[in-house]
Copies of this chain bind each other. A is one copy, B any other.
Amino acid sequence: MGESKKQEEINQLLYKYASEGKTVVRLKGGDPYVFGRGEEECAYLVEKGICCEVVPGVSSAFAVPAYAGIPVTSRWMSSGVTVLTAVRSTGEVIDLDYVPKKGTLVILMGVHVADRLKEQLLKVRPAGEPVAVIENGTLPGQRVFVSTLEKLDVVVRENKVRAPAIFIVGEVVKLRSALTR
């Protein structure tokens, strides 16, 4: 609820300054259109007659795996990548209709629901599928743990992984050893 309030305030501030004739820059980390609320802010302004330009950014969904030595696609191992939030806006933990049987999964914001997430994913993915857990990706304190899907929750618990963290599920995790020294 607190977050919703804040978003509404941001929208109003953007509108306030823009309607005073100012050029307003809303600077975000990552890509504003990849789980970035850019759509909400832009739709709010456009409806009020304010023109918006959205400049794409480098999404953490692809950049964090890259800095951990994991390419999200691979010519030989994965011809697709799916980016998901672990918890939907409805509060529900991952809807399996969003999860393909094959290809890389990049799962955002899953630390607090790692156990339920694992249970769900095991319904459509093999228990032995490689998994990487990346905490504080790209930052000096980055930690990377490689395991298998059946141990996802254990890895998170035993290493006291804290948000922000990204989970990668898929064969591409195996490439890490070939791409880092």
The residues of A with any CB-CB pair to B shorter than 8 Å are 31-35, 37-40, 42-43, 46-47, 51-52, 54, 56-59, 62-63, 65-67, 70-76, 79-85, 88-89, 95, 97-103, 175, 178-181
Contacts and interface: CB of A to CB of B under 8 A. Distances in A.
B75 A40 contact: yes
A100 B102 contact: no
Given A63-B56, A81-B83, A97-B100, A46 B76 contact: no
A164 to B, nearest CB: 16
A56 B46 contact: no
A83 B100 CA distance: 11
A47 B80 contact: no
B95 A43 contact: no
Q: What are the 7 tightest A-B residue pairs by CB atom distance, in nearest-first order?
A: A33-B71, A56-B63, A80-B98, A39-B71, A97-B102, A82-B82, A80-B84
A46 B31 CA distance: 30
A34 B46 contact: no
